[in-house]
Amino acid sequence: MNNINYPEQFNKHIKRVIISKEEIDAKIQEVGKQISDSYDGRPILLVSILKGAFVFMADLCRAISVPCEIGFMCAKSYYSGTVSSGAVKITMDLEQDISKYHVIIVEDIIDTGRTLNDVVKLLKARNPLSLRVITLLDKPSRRLVEFKADISLFTIPDYFVIGYGLDCAEQYRNLPYIAEYQEQE
């Protein structure tokens, strides 16, 4: 699975790896090049939706070869466990005036679409030069609102996934890959 020796109680919830670190790295390099080619010479603001997207944002930012700035927002819909609460709450907002930027929202996963739908509406009202959404994972079978990312690195079935920034009750964010979470053996 990996070369990190996690305790057994940690490992027992990792059902299987569904996207390897190498697959993630390759896709991020590809998307970083696309962004660099598309936005060269234009003011870019990458907006990470915390907490889950922080690992993806860090790697994507390093894969972009043109100047870019970063900002952070926190929007919650999963409070603990594996089921969305259905309520989206912005708990940390951007500090930047985004009207002078081409904004790229960097998200970890689009599930029901509610969270991102609300964030996009909020940011569009602030008149950015343009607004795009890039997500690491897309789970279209779970969509409850009509929403489609501009770029999805991976489309996955309806699994509850962990790793690479994604968590279950704040655990597993440090896995270098995406794995399916298993409740009990």
Q: Known catalytic residues?
A: 111
Beta strands in 58-162 (DSSP E): 69-76, 89-92, 102-110, 130-138, 151-155, 161-162
Encoded tokens for 6: 């996690």
d(CA 13, CA 11): 5
Least Cα distance to 66 among 105, 47, 38 occurs for: 38
d(CA 161, CA 8): 18
